[in-house]
Copies of this chain bind each other. A is one copy, B any other.
Amino acid sequence: MLLCDIGNTSYHFLSAETDYKKDVKEFDPSTIKERIFYICVNPTLKIVLDSLENWIDLAKFIDMDNYYDTMGVDRIFACEALSDGIIIDAGSAITVDIVDAGLFQGGFIYPGTKAMKKSYTDISTALDYKFNYTLDIKKLPKNSADAISYGYLKLLHSEVISHNKDIYLTGGDAQKLHSLFPNAKIEKRLIFNGMKRVIKKIELI
């Protein structure tokens, strides 16, 4: 079974247990001849893929009553991977979504690490510090680097912990946030797992 999670910059494939990426600008999807299940956040690419019979858009099989129209399809499929838990998908944005008894309960969006760092630096060069991911969040900061790290990380931590659920970390910055959530499970293939569960549920294969 071939799966593909398509973002704005790359096709991310999973074939059996191997995953690999192809550049959106260079890869020609018509070179794939076998049946492939995909999700895609890129609207221009979706038009191309719609014309290819062997490319099957899994988004069409989602019951959208549980979600909302402008919710990213990647968030939806991460939620589909779980029956219960809180998902932190740390990419350019950090999306935090809660699933309870197999149903999406809602979620929020927080700036990703790069965006938030830029936000502080744009306010003032006096706030140009790297985030301290091993910050002691039990202590109110008394230096500038910790003052911005606490503002960014402690606030996220408190909110996530308050929901009292198993935490699943995914996305490119998952590892960075692991020290903040040491009990979280890092699930690099959460979206692929969601795709597999949807395929199974609707008995596509």
Contacts and interface: CB of A to CB of B under 8 A. Distances in A.
Interface stretch (A19-27, A48-56, A155-163): A155-163
Contacts of A93: 120, 123-124, 127
Contacts of A150: 108
Interface string A105-141: 1111111100110111011101100000000000111
Nearest to A66: B142
Given A156-B155, A158-B162, A108 B140 contact: yes
A110 B156 CA distance: 12
A102 to B, nearest CB: 16
A92 B115 CA distance: 16
Nearest to A160: B155
Contacts of A124: 92-93
25 contacts: A68-B142, A68-B144, A70-B143, A72-B126, A92-B123, A93-B120, A93-B123, A95-B147, A96-B151, A105-B140, A106-B142, A107-B140, A107-B141, A108-B146, A108-B148, A108-B151, A109-B120, A109-B151, A110-B151, A111-B119, A115-B119, A115-B120, A118-B122, A155-B155, A155-B158
Q: Identify the 8 closest CB pairs spanning chains A and B, nearest first.
A: A106-B140, A155-B155, A108-B150, A110-B151, A119-B119, A108-B151, A70-B144, A111-B119
Given A107-B147, A109-B144, A111-B116, 6 more contacts: A68-B142, A70-B143, A92-B123, A105-B140, A155-B155, A158-B162
Interface of A: 67-68, 70-72, 92-93, 95-96, 98, 105-112, 115-116, 118-120, 122-124, 126-127, 139-144, 146-148, 150-152, 154-156, 158-159, 162
